[in-house]
Amino acid sequence: MAGEKGVVLLDLWVSPFGQRVRIALAEKGVDYEYKEQDLMNKSELLLKSNPVYKKIPVLLHDGKSICESLIIVQYIDEVWSNKAPLLPAEPLARANARFWADFIDKKVYECATRLWKLKGEEQEVAKKEFIEIFKLLEGELGDKTFFGGESFGFVDLALVPFVAWFYAYETCAKFSMEEECPKIVAWGKRCMERESVSKTLSDPTKVYEFVLFLKKRFGVE
């Protein structure tokens, strides 16, 4: 692996974390080789590149491996700094962006997983929490075009892949994001106008099929 030039991304097609990296690479216009991973049968390359977590996404750049999606995005932003800055320049704005990206990382995925994995009362609790999380995000978005202001940036990128999962969440837990968090839905549509996003995000129907597959595998009706 050492001495190999170029950019390689180890990823899973539907992963919102992998999609963050794909959007960042597209925004920067970086050429890379995409390597779809079979997580039921992990490749030697994946195990060697991420021995600690054995997870995707992993970015390989000139033989070096970088793991954890938000860390990878920050790395991409620093290395290909000539185009499309993802993090703001000013330290306070950067800290704010990092805070919200970290908030998204800590809250969204875990809560969303409970939404489709659980039933009855537990699902209702998860649904309530999920809507609360997104209402907080709506508060932060305010009337801005993007979380970063006028430009699409780090926080937008951290959140937007989950937009493709809204249909699956809504169908599993019976609610409407349009009703509960209209500003987020509108923001999602604005993000989809960007080629980097529209070409990366999975089709919501395919995501729903994937969730159904997971439900079967975990024995959830």
Quick check: 109 binds other proteins (CB under 8 A)? Answer: no
Answer for which of 48, 54, 64, 206 binds other proteins (CB under 8 A) is 64
Q: Any contact of residue 2 with other proteins (CB under 8 A)?
A: no
Span from 38-46, 60-68, 124-132, 174-182 in contact with other proteins (CB under 8 A): 60-68
Nearer to other proteins, 96 or 145 (CB): 96
**Segment 33-52, which members bind other proteins (CB under 8 A)?**
52
Token code pair at residue 47: 């195990």
- The single residue among 67, 115, 141, 191 that binds other proteins, judged by CB under 8 A, is 67
Binding piece for other proteins, criterion CB under 8 A, among 9-17, 69-77, 178-186, 191-199 = 69-77
Residues 71-90 interacting with other proteins (rule: CB under 8 A): 71-72, 74-75, 78-79
* Separation between Cα atoms, residue 101 and residue 74, nearest integer Å: 11
Which two structure tokens, joined as six digits, stand for 9?
């991304």
Single out the residue of 18, 22, 24, 68 in contact with other proteins (rule: CB under 8 A): 68
Q: Which is nearer to other proteins, 50 or 196 (CB)?
A: 50
Q: Is 136 in the site for other proteins (CB under 8 A)?
A: yes
3-state SS track over the chain = CCCCCCEEEEECCCCHHHHHHHHHHHHHCCCCEEEECCCCCCCHHHHHHCCCCCCCCEEEECCEEEECHHHHHHHHHHHCCCCCCCCCCCHHHHHHHHHHHHHHHHHHHHHHHHHHHCCHHHHHHHHHHHHHHHHHHHHHHCCCCECCECCCCHHHHHHHHHHHHHHHHHHHHCCCHHHHCHHHHHHHHHHHCCHHHHCCCCCHHHHHHHHHHHHHHCCCC
Residue 67 CB, shortest distance to other proteins, in Å, is: 6
| Binding residue (CB under 8 A) for other proteins from 42, 84, 103, 180 | 103
Q: Which of 166, 55, 159 is nearest to 115 (CA)?
A: 166
Q: Taking CB under 8 A as the rule, does residue 32 contact other proteins?
A: no
| Residue ranges that bind other proteins, judged by CB under 8 A | 52, 61, 64, 66-68, 71-72, 74-75, 78-79, 91-92, 94-96, 98-99, 102-103, 136
